[in-house]
Amino acid sequence: MKKEKTPFHEIKLFTGIALCFVMSLCNGQANNRDKQDEVPKKEVIKFPNLENQISGVIPAILQDSKGNIWFGTQNGAFKLSGDSLVHIDGFKSESGKGVTIEDIAEDKKGRIWFAHRDGISSIDGTVVTNYYESDGLISNNTWCIETDVNGNVWIGTIEGACIFDGQRFTKFDLPEGQKDTTLAISSTKMVHSILEDSKGTIWFSTNAGLFSYSNKSLKSISDEVGIPTNFVSKIVEDKKGGFWVSTSKGLFHLKENILTNISEQHFEESKGTGSLIVGSKGDVWFNCGRNIYRLSGEKLAEYRIEEGNYGPLTFQIYEDLQNRLWFVGFGGAYRYENDRFINITQNGPW
């Protein structure tokens, strides 16, 4: 197998990040207005000055086991160590160009893995290794990455899923679904996210629905519980043995094969949901286009972008080891603290 290994250099963050327009991850929800009987809270988020952002587009964020925070951007990877933000070079496409990072994961040995539009990459110490189709990857167009307790790396691409055991890539067969014509980039084999849960089961959110894999058996959860759409974007586990599922038809809760439509309890019209987390306090945070919501028990709170404003658009909601909530996407990075959103720029505040 050909491997491109290069020591990375930490480059001080530059200004003048280029603006890039990115399509909404939620299906056609950008212009929808909410019709709710009770919306306890709305907060306006001002559109940022992109010249001062970490990057104009930040699809992914991860805090590693050492406390470093990694930002995956349209300009490659940035690492926050203490109060020092640096750009990591070494992430290259097979033709030598820079990459747009879509997802980040850490394995049990502390290596950081990155899924990007031109393959996958890892950082081990100070060495960056890039992997491409020529190394056995099923597609260079990768969208998600996950590591399991056995040390395997699971990769979701526009052409399906595969597993990397450290030596070779093996295709993992999933049913073929439908192309989502509402998105700029889609395919019948698209894998949006992969999760290993607390019991070691692997979950796949795809354009063919939701699947689980355990004991060498693949199961269609969508067929079992009746998820009403092929387009599943994300699944997360809560502390009560349940799962929350984000789809083009809204938010669902799954427990013991019982599926509950959460969106229909709070919205009069179907809303596609995007990113999703269950916070340390048990609150469920999710977004529909540019609108951000927090579900606390039965109470839904809304945080709305200023009308007529085209950013920021959240691609990932994330909680760090200090229980701080991050919202990253088109328009840069925000942190939610003291009941307000703080724009985190090249200069912090960290």
The CATH number assigned to the domain holding 185 equals 2.130.10.10
- Structure confidence by residue, pLDDT tens digits, 195-221: 999 999 999 999 999 999 999 999 999
Q: If you search the block for the tokens 């286009």, which residue do you land on? A: 289
In a domain, 133, yes or no: yes
Picking from 58, 146, 63, the residue whose alpha carbon sits closest to that of residue 320 is 63
User: Is a pLDDT exceeding 60 seen at residue 73?
Assistant: yes
Q: How far is CA 49 from CA 111, 198, 311, 338, in A?
A: 34, 40, 11, 22
- Structure confidence by residue, pLDDT tens digits, 232-267: 999 999 999 999 999 999 999 999 999 999 999 999
In a domain, 132, yes or no: yes
Written as one string, the DSSP assignment of 95-138 is: TS----EEEEEE-TTS-EEEEETTEEEEEETTEEEEE-GGGT-S
In a domain, 153, yes or no: yes
In a domain, 349, yes or no: no
Q: Number of folded domains in the chain?
A: 1
In a domain, 37, yes or no: yes
**Average per-residue pLDDT for the chain:** 87
* Predicted local distance difference test score (pLDDT) of residue 100: 96
Residue 26 binned pLDDT confidence (cut-offs 50, 70, 90): very low
In a domain, 163, yes or no: yes
Beta bridge partners of 194: 204
Beta bridge partners of 64: none
Domain that holds residue 67: 4-344
In a domain, 350, yes or no: no
In a domain, 195, yes or no: yes
* Predicted local distance difference test score (pLDDT) of residue 304: 63
Strand (E) or helix (H) holding 73: strand 69-73
Average pLDDT value for residue range 260-283: 95
Residue 6 binned pLDDT confidence (cut-offs 50, 70, 90): low
Average pLDDT value for residue range 282-305: 90
Picking from 273, 318, 303, the residue whose alpha carbon sits closest to that of residue 71 is 318
Residue 10 binned pLDDT confidence (cut-offs 50, 70, 90): low
* Predicted local distance difference test score (pLDDT) of residue 44: 46
